[in-house]
Structure 1
Amino acid sequence: MSGSDESRTITGWQTASKLYRRPPGLGWLLALAAVPLLLGLIGWGGLDRSGKDAELTRPDVNPTATLTAPDVNAPDVNAPNVNMPNLSFAPLSITRNGNDFNLSGDLPDGAAKASLMDWLRGKFGAGVNLVDNLNLRPGVSTPDVAALGSLFDAAGDRIPDFAFKIDGDTVTLTGTAVSAEARDAVEAAAKTAWPNIKVVNNIQVGPAPAAPAPPAPPAPGAPGAPGGTPGPCAVLQGDVSALLRTPINFSTDGFVLAPASQQLLSQVADKLKTCEGAKVAVTGYTDSSGNDAINIPLSGNRAKAVADYLVSQGLPADHVTSSGAGSANPIAGNDTPEGKAQNRRVEITVN
């Protein structure tokens, strides 16, 4: 007890004792201050923060899904095929007049030419007359026989003067049809054969053209004449072959006629002119040296040089045709220089 006070009361003297304590120290003050802070921390730690976490959580986004651009180069299966190449053919024409067919233009090789002519003979019979003005140019593009056949099948006998010409990306149809249906059938066949080609239909509708007059009977002595004294036409092929025992020569690896061969061909032309109406086919050949890409054009050019010279000597141009067969049909072996020289030749056939 730190001290005492005495006071007098009614009842007498009493002694009242008061206790005196020391003031609180610094440690107590710090402890008192720490209590509210501790309670606050406990309360904050117990709060439910799930809502805030939900608000702060970002959605799981696949960046590749949102950043990937569409492939603009992917093909559109619904779009038309604009990359289909357009057809482009070398010039080629076939003109029909009854049983006569005039052929002109370019073919890639002798096999294509033989295929076309064999098809025409098979289609229109052995009596068909083919006028061959075709050139051989390796590498050119030409329509196949099946496509041409569809056109002639559609024309049939309803367009006896049917003709077509194909050049580049255009085919031109001409002739006189007995009806509009016949005209339209040929056009439809052309469009079916070549869907990407331009078709120019110049077929007229009208009366069928008059059939060509039958040929006059051959003169006595002409080929096919019954009986009579043999005339110059009967022995014409033999006379020409006898002259051609002397080979026709050209410049080395070229198709320019040698002067001596020009004199020889002048004699051949004189023989041919003795038989009016004689038709001549000139065919060139080479030996086996090289390949068809070289030999066929070379043989064709040599045959054409001979044909042109015959025409220059007075033979009708439409009675003389030429073609090149390359190294086909050798008449001697190609294993000796002598044999190769015999195979390098030009043949003239009289019809």
Structure 2
Amino acid sequence: MALAAIPLLLALIGQGMADRSKLDINGTDVAAPSLPVPSVSLPGHARVSLSILRSGDVITVNGDLPDISARTGLLDMLEGVYGSGVQMVDNLNIKPGVSAPDLVSLGSLFKAGISMPDFKFKIEGDTVTLIGTAASGAVKSAVEAAAKAAWPNLKLSNDILVVPDVTETTRAAPAPRPAGDCADLQADITAVMSTPVTFATNGRTLSTATQQRLSRVAEKVKGCPSAHLAVSGYTDNTGNDGINIPLSTGRAKAVAEFLVAHGVPAANVTSKGYGSADPVASNAKPDGRAQNRRVVITVS
């Protein structure tokens, strides 16, 4: 009998020891505490939202930066690439905690695309987007190579348009600015277009006042047969891309078609719509939205 009782006694002792893990100091049943598991953040590419658009001598910068130092460094880098004569439109937001851009990589990218008067760079999430007009396939390839070297792990969308009738010699060594009125063609067009292009509501029909201004633009451009025009259309942020991209595309095309109809060679004009991208003012107020609804003509 004593030998038979030994296994039972050992089982009871083991059960008692297990039950003690559920007792507090007062003998009350409680759940055994779970140990905290430390949270570990693995290194990687933080989400970044940044766009930089060149339109002639105007550089528009949109996006988020972590601090004033990063903002100053970015603007100084762009001025170093394009010179102190450029006009900076600063739409940057300071948001502590976001990643600062790699200024060395950005500098290499914009130096590769320095001959493009309408170069646009955008990085959002895991995608880098390149847009603009290049003088040759070599320029387009150089910009793409710089982007791939800087962000090898991100997706790349290269939407750069190559203008086929610009020679390699012109690309390698830009010709001196033409004398007379052509030397100031971009400034003249910018002055004429200082009043916003207007259309019928939600349409692409040019207003009478806009047609009069575009007629003046056409007269100036006809005197400069080597000039190429890139017409870019933009909207405010009302609506979505499904509406804004076709609308801005149609309006840019309407301006381009008007210029061609008034004597500008069709081969010298391209057009594209960008929707609500790259605002030049805040969309929070009506006057800001009005400024963002625009058509820009860039001379190259």
Higher relative contact order (CA 8 A, sep 6+): 2
Q: Taking structure 2 as the reference length, what is the TM-score of the superposition?
A: 0.45
**Higher alpha-carbon Rg:** 1
